[in-house]
Structure 1
Amino acid sequence: MADREQQPGHHMPEPNNYGRVDEEAQSKELKRQKRKKLILYIAAFVVFQTIVIVIFSLTVMKVKTPKFRVRAASFETFSVSASSFDMRMNARLGVKNTNFGPYKFDNSTITFFYRGAEVGNAFVPKATAKFLSTKRFNVTINLSSTNLLTNSELGSDFNSGILPLSSTSRLTGKVELMLVMKKKKAVNMNCTMEVSIATHQLQNLKCK
């Protein structure tokens, strides 16, 4: 049989590689976009973790000095004369702990003064102020002018009806954070107050 002659204008289809090139380009672009997103996610995560760590270190892990205060007081006995006084005071104390861990403090002493002269003291037992809380406790102090030297101001204070007092104390202890970290903290008390001779009450109590 004679070979069929190729008709004019009819060509055999040539292979087309453009479609394959487009697919490869799209695939590379998708991979590039995925890598870019992954890098952005990792960078965002690192930034987020850094912010969390900074906030954590500035709040939870930052150790603050607790506060030790005379909160109030009442009198069991109250004896005042023109030149002397003898009282038994029940003082309510508080150790305020604003840390995210307990504050354990050792035994101490609280001392009361009249115009700089010691007139009484009491034992402060060791205890623990829990995290973000205030440890409240009472101590009883005998306040007496027996050991005071002759003081002309005592008579004038009695006449004014006000007996000025101050108190000082120092607690030493440790703040525990995350059950592993312990930080030593000393707490100083400095309070001033007035005793009303007429009402037998404490007033104008200020601590710093």
Structure 2
Amino acid sequence: MADNKDQVKPLAPAAVAPFSSPSDDGAFAFSPEFNYSSHRRRKSCCVKCCGCAAAVMLVLAVIALALVLTVFRIKNPKIKMNSVEINGWDAAAGNGNGNANGTIKLTLTANVSVKNPNVASFKFYNTTTSVYCNGSPAGEASTPAGEILAGKTISVKINVPVAEDVITAGGNLPVLSSRTTMMGKISIKNIIKRSHVVVKMNCTMKVNPTTHSLQDFSCFKTAASS
């Protein structure tokens, strides 16, 4: 019987502690399902934000490209010869328009208009007009520098002195030609620049010394820029 009393009883299994809640010790309970759902929502939100930002940038790029190709595209100024005539045919030799040798000084008067189709001003330097009679130089004149505002048109009056004997030496109907060269620069907000703009206009006409008039008048223009 003593053996039965001395027999050691088996220990009871340890009780499993219950899962502690945040209110037990202040620690946050880990929930795998909750964190995965939050991560997925954050990832979806980031994707949407990035997509919206990319779409906005694409729209802005398209708008900027359209403006550069249309509104802000630098165009060459347009030059036009409105009228041209010769003054001084009726002047007496040696009287006012004549010189000591009796040569009558004539004046080729041209009215030229220049239009600036850009959204920025066109600043031009001195404009040179040269006159030739049957290919030989007959006179030259220059007009002062200036500026044409955006979308505006100005008129320039050019007076080129020539000698009557130079014209009459060309025959019955000498060919008179003029070359007008205008140089300048265009800058839009100091972003889009064209620092070297050259506009040229060449005109040809026949002179009738008998009627003191011009006939068969024609002009063509060229423009080069860089």
| Structure 1 and Structure 2 fold alike (TM over 0.5) | yes
8 Å CA contact 1:66–1:98 kept in 2: the answer is yes
What CA distance in whole angstroms lies between the structure 2 residues aligned with 1:54 and 1:129? 26
8 Å CA contact 1:108–1:124 kept in 2: the answer is yes
Provide the secondary structure at the position in 1 that maps to 2:89. Answer: strand
Label 1:138 to 1:150 Cα distance change in 2 as closer, same or farther (>3 A): closer
Normalized per residue, which structure has more strand?
1
Label 1:145 to 1:204 Cα distance change in 2 as closer, same or farther (>3 A): same
> How many pairs does the alignment contain?
177
Provide the secondary structure at the position in 2 that maps to 1:146. Answer: helix
Structure 1: gaps of 5 or more residues? 1-21, 158-162
Provide the secondary structure at the position in 2 that maps to 1:132. Answer: coil
Q: 1:71 and 2:71 equivalent?
A: no
Q: 1:125 and 2:144 equivalent?
A: yes
2:133 match? 114
- Superposed, which structure 2 residues align to 1:25-174 within 5 Å? 34-78=45-89, 87-147=106-166, 151=170, 154-155=171-172, 157=173, 163-174=174-185
Structure 2: gaps of 5 or more residues? 1-32, 91-102, 222-226
2:187 match? 176
Quote the offset at 1:77 in angstroms.
2.8
Quote the offset at 1:180 in angstroms.
6.5
> Percent same amino acid at aligned positions?
18
User: Aligned partner of 2:220: which letter?
Assistant: C
Higher relative contact order (CA 8 A, sep 6+): 1
Label 1:94 to 1:180 Cα distance change in 2 as closer, same or farther (>3 A): same
8 Å CA contact 2:180–2:202 kept in 1: the answer is no
Quote the offset at 1:91 in angstroms.
0.9
What CA distance in whole angstroms lies between the structure 1 residues aligned with 2:78 and 2:104? 30
Q: Of the two, which has the highest radius of gyration? A: 2
2:213 match? 200
8 Å CA contact 1:67–1:187 kept in 2: the answer is no
TM-score (norm 1): 0.65
- Per-residue CA deviation, residues 151-198 of structure 1 (Å, 9 max, x unaligned), is 4xx23x2xxxxx432211323322121156653223242322324634
Quote the offset at 1:111 in angstroms.
0.7
- Per-residue CA deviation, residues 50-78 of structure 1 (Å, 9 max, x unaligned), is 11222233334443332444332234333
Label 1:57 to 1:65 Cα distance change in 2 as closer, same or farther (>3 A): same
- Per-residue CA deviation, residues 27-63 of structure 1 (Å, 9 max, x unaligned), is 8887666555433322221111111222233334443
What CA distance in whole angstroms lies between the structure 1 residues aligned with 2:115 and 2:216? 21
TM-score (norm 2): 0.60
C-alpha RMSD of the superposition: 3.6
